[in-house]
Structure 1
Amino acid sequence: MMSKVVVGLSGGVDSSVAAASLCNQNYEVSGLTLWLMKGKGQCCSEGMVDAAHICEQLSIPHYIVDAKELFKKNIVDYLVSGYRSGITPSPCSQCNRSVKFKPMLDYAEKELNCNLIATGHYARIRYDKETDKYHLLRAIDRSKDQSYFLYDLPQEILARTIFPLGEQTKEDTRRMATEFKLKTANKPESQDLCLIESYGSMASFLEKYIQPQTGNIVNLKGKVLGNHKGIHNYTIGQRKGLGISASEPLYVLKLDFRNNQVVVGKRSDGLRSSCIIKDVNWISIFEPNAPMKVEVQVRYRSLAVYANIIPIENNRYKLVFEELQFGITAGQAAVLYNDDVVLAGGIIEK
């Protein structure tokens, strides 16, 4: 008897190949597309059409679930609230847990009598008999690894998820798409958040929800260097697009929401030795009650660096870096690793 699996289809080449490869492995595959918002983009109208074509090619059923309200509540409102308060939220991990993976699994179980889901993410899952835990690992292709965005998935979801692309490179995926003669084989890769893809930029998206309030750009001594177009348009570590001239490069060091100021300074002024993280999801190990050494990644494209993690209270921890770090940003995810294994992850509080 074939195992049933529901594959999340965005209309891109990765999810298309994930579905095709599972069909080739004799799974009983169904395609599921979540309608997250109206408009253009991989996850919207265009994506749904391409996902439907892929299901037709593979001769598998295709289901569409209207998740626009869920997306607005858990992602749009979450982003707007964060930017209004002067932080820079990281929506993808939030979206994966609360909008994509759990709703997909719920739909698969309740509507399709299926307890397995799959996506085209580049990551791996491995079961450890000794600890009875499912480990989340980086993908073989480090340049495409997406484990950073998946740190918030709980054990009950990891236990029922398949990542068919985790053991291969992006080049392998493109080659397989051509071999399977998939309609999406040559489709350009999405490079941005779905919101940016749909609206053109994060600033354009935020303009719909946040009334710009101009203010001053100041240095660390409070000297006014120029004007900003609304704090929500800036992020910690930003250098370009500040609209000010100086004898040396200046970076955004702080977003002062209370005084409506963007604080800038030299790169060396933005180096930090530690940060506090909250809402930590421990995946591969049990929550530690004493300091321990870890590797930590504080942005998706940053390199993992060594740090000591120290428990505080109420699922909050202090990360003390072995080397000073630049651009630590409240609202972003800090993901902890041991080589390829994701240990845990949380949100940078301050």
Structure 2
Amino acid sequence: MKKVVVGLSGGVDSSTAAAILHHQGYEVIGLTLWLMKGKGQCCSEGMIDAAYICEQLSVPHQIVDMRDVFQTHIVDYLVTGYSVGITPLPCSQCNKTVKFGPMVQYAREQLGCDRIATGHYAQINYDKASGRYQLLRAVDRNKDQSYFLYDLSQELLAATVFPLGELQKADTRRIAAEYGLKTADKPESQDLCLVESNGSMRAFLDKYLAPKKGDIVDTTGKVLGEHDGVHHYTIGQRKGLGIAAPEPLYVIELDAVNNKVIVGDRTKVTQPECTVNRVNWVSIAEPSTPIRAEVQIRYRSHPEPVTVIPLENSRVRLVFDEPQFSITPGQAAVWYDGDKVLGGGIIES
């Protein structure tokens, strides 16, 4: 019997992934990573539901304490980023360093198993011609999570199964109900786990970064208002600035060194290109010459035509066919060929 370790957060997606594999004849072991205390999936509440699902399926359930790892790689990473005026994206970092990597290691070393599965909406394909595992969008484009998985290595992709990749979300709910899973009607997780646990990103950051009043200025240096910390703002932000102006103003730069939030009109926050670092080439080997692709600079952004120009030291330059609004340092840029994830990285500037 094939053995698989299924990451269980306590939500309907991971629960259904486990149930599907169990009913397909896999020997399933449920594994929950304890990331932090509090409400929401991946927290105390999620662990209870994950344990209940394993009891329903009559499969073993293990909990691994990853709170220190989560604190170092996600909480400290976020706080440091916001403190210097960037807006980090924790999810891709968390998937690689906190979830998939440790899960594969634990499965192999402690459970004698070389396969893991999660409830992510994405697909994996092995391409014989290139000898590479390819990461593909999910069939359900509204739930597709490939954007957050771009940083997975070939080793991790080779060890991973995504049972929900070919399903619509409605099918997942239906299957969960058919199997009588406790989580079948559990509400969706609507935000980052840290936001769910703390109530808002502002509340989370305020636990670590003290208020620091400074000026909101325009591009000429004219003071338009006051802020209570650059970490409360992000590039492209329009609402909540607390300033009056004859035209809409957006945050165009966060100057953490001088403690200033710089604003301007929409043209000032629209750029024709950007640089990306910490690049991971996923479905193809790193090219030596520019390639054409479609890029997403945010999870929900529309894929835009782009030329990807490889640079040294795991960096690329993205030159957009049309200038893009609100390119935000710290967020991920992920480029595709149709449904295939070619690569991705962290926006630098």
TM category (shorter chain) comes to over 0.9
Q: How many residues align?
A: 349
In structure 1, C-alpha distance between the alignment counterparts of 2:331 and 2:67, rounded to whole Å? 24
Letter in 2 for 1:110: E
| Alignment pair present for 1:93 and 2:109 | no
In structure 2, the residue matched to 1:130 is 129
Spell out the pairing of 1:331-342 with structure 2 (5 A cutoff). 331-342=330-341
In structure 2, C-alpha distance between the alignment counterparts of 1:16 and 1:166, rounded to whole Å? 14
In structure 1, the residue matched to 2:194 is 195
Secondary structure in 1 matching 2:106? helix
> Could you list the runs of 5+ residues in structure 2 that have no partner in the other structure?
none
Shift of 1:113: 0.5
In structure 2, C-alpha distance between the alignment counterparts of 1:180 and 1:311, rounded to whole Å? 48
| Alignment pair present for 1:186 and 2:185 | yes
In structure 2, C-alpha distance between the alignment counterparts of 1:88 and 1:269, rounded to whole Å? 18
Spell out the pairing of 1:206-225 with structure 2 (5 A cutoff). 206-225=205-224
Letter in 2 for 1:57: Q
In structure 2, C-alpha distance between the alignment counterparts of 1:91 and 1:177, rounded to whole Å? 29
| Alignment pair present for 1:24 and 2:23 | yes
Shift of 1:339: 0.5
Letter in 1 for 2:215: N
In structure 2, the residue matched to 1:204 is 203
In structure 1, C-alpha distance between the alignment counterparts of 2:98 and 2:160, rounded to whole Å? 15
Secondary structure in 1 matching 2:180? coil
In structure 2, C-alpha distance between the alignment counterparts of 1:317 and 1:129, rounded to whole Å? 27
In structure 1, C-alpha distance between the alignment counterparts of 2:284 and 2:185, rounded to whole Å? 40
In structure 2, C-alpha distance between the alignment counterparts of 1:143 and 1:61, rounded to whole Å? 32
> Could you list the runs of 5+ residues in structure 1 that have no partner in the other structure?
none
1:116-172 CA deviation, whole Å, 9 max, x = no partner?
000000000000011111000000011000000000000001001000000011111
TM-score scaled by length of structure 2: 0.99
Shift of 1:222: 1.3
In structure 1, C-alpha distance between the alignment counterparts of 2:177 and 2:2, rounded to whole Å? 26
Secondary structure in 1 matching 2:181? coil
Secondary structure in 2 matching 1:111? helix
In structure 2, C-alpha distance between the alignment counterparts of 1:255 and 1:110, rounded to whole Å? 45
Letter in 2 for 1:126: N
Q: Percent identity?
A: 66
Spell out the pairing of 1:1-350 with structure 2 (5 A cutoff). 2-350=1-349
Secondary structure in 2 matching 1:109? helix
Shift of 1:289: 1.0
1:280-310 CA deviation, whole Å, 9 max, x = no partner?
1011111111111111110001011011111
In structure 2, C-alpha distance between the alignment counterparts of 1:141 and 1:32, rounded to whole Å? 26
Letter in 1 for 2:231: H
In structure 2, C-alpha distance between the alignment counterparts of 1:67 and 1:184, rounded to whole Å? 24
In structure 2, C-alpha distance between the alignment counterparts of 1:320 and 1:293, rounded to whole Å? 10
Letter in 2 for 1:178: A
Shift of 1:312: 2.1
